[in-house]
Amino acid sequence: MLDQLPAGVGWLVIDTDDLRLAGAPGHAFEAFESVPARELDGHDLISFREGAGLRAAADKVLRAADATPNIIVESNEMPVLVGLVGHGLGLAILPVAFIEQSRYPIWSRPLDPPIRPSLINCRRVVADTGWCVPTPVPPGPPPRSQRCHDTRAPRRE
Q: What is the dihedral of CA 72, 75, 77, 78, to 10 degrees?
A: 40
Closest C-alpha to 40, from 96, 81, 105, 90: 90
What total of structural domains would you count in the chain? 2
DSSP string, 21-47: EEE-TT-GGGG-SSEEGGGGTT-EEEE
pLDDT for 4: 72
Output DSSP code: residue 147.
Answer: B
In 1-157 the beta strands, taken as DSSP E runs, fall at 9-16, 19-23, 35-36, 44-47, 70-74, 91-95, 107-115, 118-124
CA distance 17 to 23: 19
Same domain for 23 and 7, yes or no, is no
Same domain for 97 and 109, yes or no, is yes
Same domain for 108 and 145, yes or no, is no
pLDDT for 147: 63
pLDDT for 89: 93
Same domain for 9 and 25, yes or no, is no
Instruction: Please identify every stretch of the chain with a pLDDT value under 70, giving residue numbers as ranges.
Output: 1-2, 126-157
pLDDT for 8: 75
Same domain for 38 and 55, yes or no, is yes
pLDDT for 150: 58
CATH number of the domain encompassing residue 81: 3.40.190.290
The boundaries of the domain holding residue 39 are 18-116
Same domain for 154 and 110, yes or no, is no
Same domain for 48 and 103, yes or no, is yes
Same domain for 75 and 108, yes or no, is yes
CA distance 32 to 156: 54
User: CB–CB of 91/39 below 8 Å?
Assistant: no
CA angle 84, 118, 83 (to 5 degrees): 10
Read off the pTM: 0.77
Same domain for 80 and 154, yes or no, is no
pLDDT for 106: 96
